Structures are given as C-alpha cells and as structure tokens.
Structure 1
Amino acid sequence: MRILMARHGQTEWNLAGRIQGIEDSPLTALGIEQARAVGQAWRGSGIRHIHSSPLGRAMDTARHAAEGLGAECFDDPGLVERAFGRYEGMPIAELREQETDWEPIILGTRPELAAPGGETLLQVADRVEAAVRKLAADSDQATLGIVSHGHCLLALAWRLGGQPDDIRQFHHRNASYSELEWMDGKLRLLRWAVADHLVGDESGLSAPASFAAR
C-alpha cells in the first residue's frame, strides 16, 4: 500500500506566527488554494479515502483536497497535532520574551522535551505511527490519503528515517506531503516534504528530499 500524508494548508495563526497545537485556526485564502493543490497533486493516485486529524484546519484541508478526487473524508484522533500546553496561542515573539527552553521544543531538535502541559515529540511519534499503522492494516485501498500536522509529519518522518541527529530536514511546509509504503506489516519512508505542487508558494518551511528508509 502507498500512503500519501499531507500537512494542512496555511492558517491565520501560521501567518501571524502563533503556536497552534491542539488549539485551532481557520485556513487562509492561500491555505484553501494549497489544500486544493494537494488534491490536484494526488490525482491519478487512486485515493478514495482521506483520513484526517479532527482539528478544523486539517479536516478543511482534507475536504478541499477530496473535491478533486471524489474521495470520502474521515477523522482520526490519533492524527491530531502535538499538544504544546502553555505555549498554545502564544506568538513566537512572546515566547522569546517569556520562555527559556521553547526553541528546541518548537523546532523539534530536542525530541525528549515538552512544553509545560504538552507532549514530547517522542510521544507524538509513537501516537502517529500507531494511528498510521492501524489505518493501513485496516484498509483495503491501494493508496491511502492522510492529512495531519507539521509536528506529526516531522515526528513520523524522523522516526522512519532512522532518527538522525538533524531532525530539521524533516520539516514540512504547509500542504507539502510525505510518501510512505506499507508492506508486510512494515512502514517505509519513501519521500518527505514533497512540495512540487506548491511552486511559487513561499509559505512555511521547505526541505524537499527523498530517502529510502532503513
């Protein structure tokens, strides 16, 4: 089975530089365009089911992507974004002023750290990998679509990519996606941060690359 797993489109809080986590923010006009571009990129893939985080920004991205695919959308709580506890809703500028250890948490460079009241990236990797494995095992589709969040994709790609020291290479910009393979009960990372469909769109972090997972 092939799995295509996208980050949601740009939101108002992305644009404003605010931490979202399990709080929510609506897609911007650009975010809607990005979501539709995901659907265009996935045309011809045979996707009939898109599973999404239940947060509004992800579900709306899934629905806009599904329009061009004739696919059905389903929510899965295992795909929800990383909880950032006290940091949620805070602008980055405010974090710099008020918090000391925020940067390695937000960038994911210290996967064992969590914001006060939040999750570590290691916990997110466990949760998201379990959710994707269950979806793959329970599906009879040849290709599965998933819409989730930046830190969910970061955590899963890093885990499947062998957990290298430089986790930043796995950052996904808004509406970029990773390609996974599910075969014989194993998940493999084939490509990550694919953003060819977003050419000319400068929003979010970009690190497109390919990798055959060990």
Structure 2
Amino acid sequence: MKIYFTRHGETEWNKKGIIQGQLDSPLTEDGIEMAKGLYESSKDIDFDKVYSSDLGRAYDTCKIISPHRDIIKTKLLREIDVGNWSGKTLKEVETKYRDLHQKYFNSPSSYFREDGESIYDLINRVEKFFEEAIYPEEDEKILIVTHGVTMVSMFNIMENIPIENFWTNRVRRNGFFNIAEYKDGKFTILQKAPKNPVDSI
C-alpha cells in the first residue's frame, strides 16, 4: 500500500499565527492554490480510497485535491484538541499557560488537560484510524488529508518513535505530499514535506 498524506492548505488562522485545534478557519487564497497544486501533482493517481478529517479546512482541501472521488470523512483524523488554547496565538499560550505549554513541547508524556486531548489520546485516535484503514492492506493507494500535529503522530507510529520523543518529527508545511509505503507489516517513509518554519499547535 502507498499512502499519500498531507496537511490542509493554509488557513486564515495559520496566516495570523492563531492556534486552531478543533476549531476552524477558512482556507486563504494561497491555501486554495496549495490544494490546486496537489490536485495537479496527483490527478493521474488512481486512489482506491480518499480520507479526510471532518474539520472544514481539511475537507475543503480534500475536495479540491480529489474532486471526483467519494471522500470518507472521519473524526479520527482531526487535529489534536487543545481546549481553550484554540483561538489564541502561540505567544499568548506560552505566556498565560507556561507550565502546560512547556509540558506540551518538552515533556509530551506528562501533558494532560481536562478540556481537550493528551498526546496519548491523539496517538490512540490515530492508531485506531490505522487499524481501520491501513493495517488491513486492502487498498493499493490511499489519500489522507489531515492536520499538522496529527501528521506528527502518524509519522511517529510509522517510525515507531516513543511519546517521549514525540516532537522528533516536526509539524510539516501546508500543502505538500508526504508519502509512505506499508507492506508486510512494515512502513517505509518515501517522502517528507518540508518542516514548518515555526512551532505549531
């Protein structure tokens, strides 16, 4: 199985440096162009299945990339739920929630919150998606449109990276394909998108 997975196109909140989590903001014109570019580079690939997070920015991106295919929307591919951090800037969070912010980036195994998901919760949710869509190896090629931190979790599952080293894989830039192969129970990373130039949540 070959897996093509990408972060949604740039959004208004991406542009303003505002944390989205499971809230949403629309794609920018650049974000739409990113999705169109992915369509052009993949229009000749015959995907067996197309999966998208059910959040609007991912689904809107997916509709542009794969306009003629049925899209399987799933909550399992949502971005991590960061509770009341959503709608705030990274600087605001770093200042107002210093201890939790430090745990999030520097000690992810000890990051827990009552109003959202832990890193463990995210990994378990993504693992459930893998169990449903990838591990059965029923398809030859699939497309996945998801989110930055969710993709970090995907890479870490593929590369067997422990939660303590969660951020070894950084958030990738919007609008680039990452490609992996899954065969005989093993993943091979074929392509990683460029890293995002700034920390992202």
State the TM bucket, normalised to the shorter chain: 0.7 to 0.9
1:76-126 deviations in Å (ceiling 9; x for gaps): 1111110001211111232233111354456x4433213552212232122
Q: CA deviation at 1:140?
A: 4.4
User: So what's the TM-score if we normalise by structure 2?
Assistant: 0.84
SS of equivalent residue, structure 2 residue 39 = helix
Q: CA deviation at 1:46?
A: 1.6
Gaps of 5+ in 2: none
1:3-27 deviations in Å (ceiling 9; x for gaps): 1111111111111111111111111
Q: Which residue of 2 aligns with 1:205?
A: 196
Matched, 1:99 2:90: no
Aligned residues: 195
- Correspondences of 1:112-131 after superposition (within 5 Å): 112=109, 113-131=111-129
User: So what's the TM-score if we normalise by structure 1?
Assistant: 0.79
The residue type equivalent to 2:46 in the other structure is G
Q: Which residue of 1 aligns with 2:26?
A: 26
Distance 1:119 1:96, change over 3 A: same
C-alpha separation in 2, matches of 1:24 and 1:122: 23
The residue type equivalent to 1:35 in the other structure is A
In percent, how many aligned pairs have the same letter? 26
Q: Which residue of 1 aligns with 2:49?
A: 49
C-alpha separation in 1, matches of 2:113 and 2:192: 25
The residue type equivalent to 2:193 in the other structure is V
- Correspondences of 1:31-42 after superposition (within 5 Å): 31-42=31-42
Distance 1:7 1:182, change over 3 A: same
Q: CA deviation at 1:205?
A: 0.3
1:50-85 deviations in Å (ceiling 9; x for gaps): 210000000000001013xx3222201111110001
The residue type equivalent to 2:56 in the other structure is G
C-alpha separation in 1, matches of 2:169 and 2:125: 21
C-alpha separation in 1, matches of 2:120 and 2:191: 19
C-alpha separation in 1, matches of 2:152 and 2:60: 21
Q: CA deviation at 1:169?
A: 3.6
Distance 1:134 1:157, change over 3 A: same
C-alpha separation in 2, matches of 1:46 and 1:180: 16
Task: Flag as ranges the 4+ runs of structure 1 deviating above 6 A.
Answer: none
Kept after mapping to 2: 8 A contact 1:180/1:187: no
Q: CA deviation at 1:181?
A: 2.3
Is the deviation greater in 120-129 or in 144-153? Answer: 120-129
Q: Which residue of 1 aligns with 2:77?
A: 79
C-alpha separation in 2, matches of 1:43 and 1:79: 23
